[in-house]
Amino acid sequence: MLDAARQKARAACKLTGLDVGIGSEGSFGPRPDIPLLPLGREVIVFWERTTGREIVEQVVDEQPAFLGRRVANIDDLDALIARTDFPATSLVVSPVGDDIHAKGLRTLSKVIDTTRWAIAKSQEGLALVQTDMRANHNPRRMRTICLAAEALAKRLSTHCPRCGSYGWGLVGVERGLPCSICGTPTGLVSLECHGCTACEYAVSSVRSDGIVSADAANCPNCNP
């Protein structure tokens, strides 16, 4: 995901001839902690060709417009479409077991006709109907990309306390937030590392959200 955003930023420099390029990339899937719920992430990369300097920001979306279901008949579409922002968010339909995809579907008649076709073509008699995750077909994703761009703009306007260069911000984290009951280190973030991508000066500090201990549900000792 990060490599894809990097390549886009470099391609932007190559196409425009400018010394600065910006690229973004998104990923979507089940939450690691609650697989039944979706999770989205948008990464945006600022790249400076003359120095090779790179600044990365990302935004996590805990409620992305990311949904897909297998349907056996047209009546199954009603419940699925009711859970999406259709037609603002386009749908993608494909026969289960086939690599063919019909993307960018924004009218109900087109979705119905394409679903019928996919069911008939599938050897399993099923159509896979999903939200279109291309940004220009998914308003929720567009809003998340905007948030990532705003975070990057804020980062570029923040200067390093040592060298004064732009781009001071989060460069890493340390995990091991202690359990609120037994004190055992968990996999959650305990410290944030803020640094400069120009002079590499960095400092660690407590989490910006003020959380100093983890719920016992995240503890490998209390909740093995």
pLDDT tens digits, one per residue of 136-190 = 999 999 999 999 999 999 999 999 999 999 999 999 999 999 999 999 999 999 9
Q: Which of 95, 36, 102 is nearest to 71 (CA)?
A: 95
Rg (CA), the chain: 22
As a whole number, mean pLDDT of residues 13-21 equals: 97
Report DSSP state, residue 162: T
Record the pTM.
Answer: 0.86
User: What is the residue whose two structure tokens read 């000066």?
Assistant: 201
Question: Are the beta carbons of 2 and 26 closer than 8 angstroms?
Answer: no
Tokens of 14: 């190559």
**Alpha carbon distance 134, 201 (integer Å):** 37
Across the chain, mean pLDDT equals 95
User: What is the residue whose two structure tokens read 């790249």?
Assistant: 47
What pLDDT was estimated at residue 36?
87
Is the predicted pLDDT of residue 33 greater than 80, yes or no?
Answer: no
